[in-house]
Amino acid sequence: MAKVPVQFTLNGSEKAEFVESGTTLLNTLRDKIGDTSPKGGCQQGTCGACSVIVDGELRLSCLTLAETCNGVAITTTSGLAEGGVLHPLQRAFLDTFATQCGFCTPGMIMAAKVLLDHTPNPSREDVVEALSGNICRCTGYEPIIQAVLTAARANSQNAA
Amino acid sequence: MAIRRGRGVAAINYPTGMNLGGDPTQALVHSTPTGNFMVTLSSVDLGQGMKQIMAQICAETIGVPTDHVVVDTADTDTGPHCMGTFASRGTHRAGNAVIQAAKEARQVMLEVAAEELEVNASDLETDGQGNILVKGAPQKSISIFDVALSAHFKRGRSISGRGMFLIPRSYPEKETGAMKPSTCYAHACTVAEVEVDDETGEVTVLTVKNVFEIGRALNPKMVEQQLVGGSWMGISHALYETTEPYYPNRDHGGTDFNQYLMPGPGDLAETEIIVLERPSADGPYGAKGPGEMCANPQIPAVANAVFDAVGVRIDTLPITPERILRALKAQAAN
């Protein structure tokens, strides 16, 4: 099958790859580019572990074809830390023990980041709604909800 | 037809590990040339934090900071033997093996330090910060870094130790069938409050209050994390999760996360966790296994709460709306 060129920015740096038509963005990020922070859980859009941010919106990378991503800006969890300093969401997930096996964590952080980008001071209901497409086996969700609320508070204190 | 409220209580007694023919775990500990310590295990960290706990146990026993310990797990081809991470046995069995290995390594470390300081090894102590001091004369000291260099390059010693923890096989008594499946037991008690809609059969868990007795909490924050997640999982088992809803008939089993139901972040009960620490006699620094038992008591507590609410006893899991409605129908027919 003919390969298709695809170009986008990933966490601020330009990427260009030839992919087989039909390749998912998830497999392109993980296998071609080597960014393994998006996880392949169900591969059918029901678990949220593969979530990434495409042009500011949350996207399931396992259901997104790479060839539809020409010219977009993609953010993944591996691009959040700046100069070795963790993003406030990553810091909050650590501080509130919101991760156990860690497989759902990158997707949770992506979903939470899109929420906080649009709604800097979310209610608990906002957080629950934002995380409702992501599933977790270990934590019982409460520590994750608390992590997102903690990160939001840290952001608003820094802004003040 | 109404929303009916009920409260249920349940208590459990949960073995740490199991015993099907002797239950061993082994561990090896050795120092690097610069005085860090490696723990080698075949046990697996499933995400519950076993590596962190083994690092703490090794560090505590040798007398070094936890971040001076690296834990290498789960290569069953090359690592010392472990029965596996199951039956809530990881902390207890592997932890005891690590203590034994670390004690042996510590003894060699102190012997090398004693030669360097020209004192008796029994007169030495560690400060927990990476140094070895003469008891009562702390100005006379040597860093573990220098002790390891000396062992490797000057004295030809291996600062290392072997650890073995074995629960021997327990045979059933011929007369009674009684046996000893485990050497220590964790305990828990849960009170669940539910609302049951007797028209739809839907159950909502309002609150779940848990007390867990787990021996010594070696890492209290990680224990809390395990217990909060486990309490949620218990409710999930009680009301939602099954691969075989009409067992033994396999039809209608969930095939993906759209069909295999679990409570999401919007379905959480108000959850309370209380930890009681009663150190176990044979646990590593008193620990027991809090792993699986934390997801157990919610199940009978919810079943009892449903009975309290609508008077039907559901004895098949999960307690689905369908099962409740069928039981209510049978109750009305009687």
Instruction: Note the pLDDT tens digit of each residue in B270-289.
Output: 999 999 999 999 999 999 99
pLDDT higher than threshold 70 for residue A160: no
Among A53-57, B200-204, B258-262, which is the least confidently predicted range?
B258-262
CATH of the domain at A129: 1.10.150.120
Contact A101 B226 (CB under 8 A): no
Band (pLDDT 50/70/90 cuts) for residue B181 is confident
Contact B229 A127 (CB under 8 A): no
How far is Cα A42 from Cα A92, in angstroms, rounded to an integer? Answer: 26
How far is Cα A83 from Cα B324, in angstroms, rounded to an integer? Answer: 56
Which residue of B49, B257, B265 is in closest CB contact with A145?
B265
- The average pLDDT across B168-178 equals 91
Q: Are A22 and A72 part of one and the same domain?
A: yes
Contact A100 B265 (CB under 8 A): no
* Average of per-residue pLDDT values in chain A: 95
Q: How much is the pLDDT for B76?
A: 85
Angle between helices B220-239 and A142-159 (to 10 degrees): 130
Chain A hits for B48, Cβ within 8 Å: 100-101
Cβ neighbours of residue A2 closer than 8 Å, sequence gap 6 or more: A21
The distance in angstroms from the start CA to the end CA of chain B is: 18
pLDDT tens digit sequence for B298-327: 999 999 999 999 999 999 999 999 999 999
Q: Are A94 and A54 part of one and the same domain?
A: no
CA quadruple B27, B28, B29, B30: dihedral, nearest 10: -170
pLDDT higher than threshold 70 for residue B242: yes
pLDDT tens digit sequence for B151-163: 999 999 999 999 9
Residue B35 Ramachandran class (φ > 0 left, ψ -120 to 50 alpha, else beta): left
Angle between helices A124-131 and A142-159 (to 10 degrees): 120
Among B65-69, B179-183, B199-203, B268-272, which is the least confidently predicted range?
B179-183
Q: Are A92 and A75 part of one and the same domain?
A: no
Contact A139 B229 (CB under 8 A): yes
Chain A hits for B49, Cβ within 8 Å: 100
Q: How much is the pLDDT for A99?
A: 93
Q: Is B255 on the interface with A (CB under 8 A)?
A: no
CATH code for the domain defined by B23-167 = 3.30.365.10
Give the chain A residue whose CA is nearest to the CA of B255.
A42
Band (pLDDT 50/70/90 cuts) for residue A104 is very high
Q: Which residues of B are catalytic?
A: 292
Q: Is B226 on the interface with A (CB under 8 A)?
A: yes
- Among residues A44, A79, A114, which one ends one of the domains? A79
Encoded tokens for B86: 């199951």
Q: For chain A, what is the domain count?
A: 2
CA distance A107 to chain B (A): 14
Residue with tokens 């990680």: B222
Question: pTM of the prediction?
Answer: 0.91
Q: Within 10 A of A130 (CB to CB), how many other CB atoms are there?
A: 23
pLDDT tens digit sequence for B287-299: 999 889 999 999 9
CATH of the domain at A36: 3.10.20.30
User: Percentage of residues in chain A with pLDDT exceeding 90?
Assistant: 93
Band (pLDDT 50/70/90 cuts) for residue B245 is confident
Q: How much is the pLDDT for B175?
A: 95
Distances from the Cα of B315 to the Cαs of B204, B237, B290, B306, in angstroms?
18, 13, 26, 11
Q: Are A105 and A74 part of one and the same domain?
A: no
Contact B256 A46 (CB under 8 A): yes
- Among residues A56, A79, A102, which one ends one of the domains? A79
Task: For B227-291, give the secondary structure using H, E and C.
Answer: HHHHHHHHHHHHHCCCCCCECCECCCCCCCCCCCCCCCHHHCCEEEEEEECCCCCCCHHHECCCC
Band (pLDDT 50/70/90 cuts) for residue B207 is very high
Q: Are A66 and A122 part of one and the same domain?
A: no
H helices within chain B, ranges in order?
50-62, 95-117, 144-150, 220-239, 298-310, 321-333
Chain B hits for A100, Cβ within 8 Å: 47-49, 225-226, 229
* Average of per-residue pLDDT values in chain B: 94
pLDDT higher than threshold 70 for residue B208: yes
Residue A136 or A2, more confident: A136
How far is Cα B281 from Cα B182, in angstroms, rounded to an integer? Answer: 13
Q: Are A72 and A138 part of one and the same domain?
A: no
Which residue of A42, A131, A139 is in closest CB contact with B256?
A42
Q: Are A92 and A71 part of one and the same domain?
A: no
Contact status, residue B273 vs residue B220, Cβ threshold 8 Å = no
Encoded tokens for B35: 């005085």
Distances from the Cα of B313 to the Cαs of A99, B94, B200, B326, B329, in angstroms?
36, 41, 17, 11, 13
How far is Cα B85 from Cα B94, in angstroms, rounded to an integer? Answer: 9
How far is Cα B307 from Cα B313, in angstroms, rounded to an integer? Answer: 5
- Among residues A47, A79, A111, which one ends one of the domains? A79
pLDDT tens digit sequence for A113-156: 999 999 999 999 999 999 999 999 999 999 999 999 999 998 88
CA distance A18 to chain B (A): 32
Count contacts between A and B (CB, < 8 Å): 61
Contact status, residue B296 vs residue B188, Cβ threshold 8 Å = yes
**Which site among B219, B222, B224, B228 would you substitute to test the A interface, given the most A Cβ atoms closer than 10 Å to its Cβ?**
B228
Give the chain A residue whose CA is nearest to the CA of B261.
A135
Comparing CA positions, the residue from B12, B52, B103, B78 lying closest to residue B292 is B12
Q: How much is the pLDDT for B19?
A: 79
Q: Would you state the CATH architecture of domain B3-16+182-333?
A: 2-Layer Sandwich (3.30)
Comparing CA positions, the residue from A31, A154, A29, A146 lying closest to residue A87 is A154
Q: How much is the pLDDT for B281?
A: 94
Comparing CA positions, the residue from B208, B213, B215 lying closest to residue B231 is B208
pLDDT higher than threshold 90 for residue A5: yes
**Which site among A142, A148, A149 would you substitute to test the B interface, given the most B Cβ atoms closer than 10 Å to its Cβ?**
A142
- Angle, CA of B271, B214 and B183, to the nearest 5°: 145
Chain A hits for B262, Cβ within 8 Å: 135
Which residue of A46, A132, A139 is in closest CB contact with B257?
A46
Among A94-108, B103-117, B213-227, B252-266, which is the least confidently predicted range?
B252-266
Which residue of B47, B233, B262 is in closest CB contact with A101?
B47
CA distance A34 to chain B (A): 23
Contact status, residue A140 vs residue B271, Cβ threshold 8 Å = yes
CA-based Rg of chain A, rounded to a whole angstrom?
A: 16
pLDDT tens digit sequence for B42-100: 999 988 899 999 999 999 999 999 999 999 997 888 999 998 888 899 999 999 999 99
CA quadruple A27, A30, A31, A34: dihedral, nearest 10: 160
Question: What residue ranges do the domains of chain B occupy?
Answer: 3-16+182-333, 23-167
Q: Which domain holds residue A47?
A: 3-79
Give the chain B residue whose CA is nearest to the CA of A98.
B225
Contact B257 A139 (CB under 8 A): no
Q: Are A36 and A97 part of one and the same domain?
A: no
CA distance A82 to chain B (A): 24
Element (H, E) at A152: helix A142-159
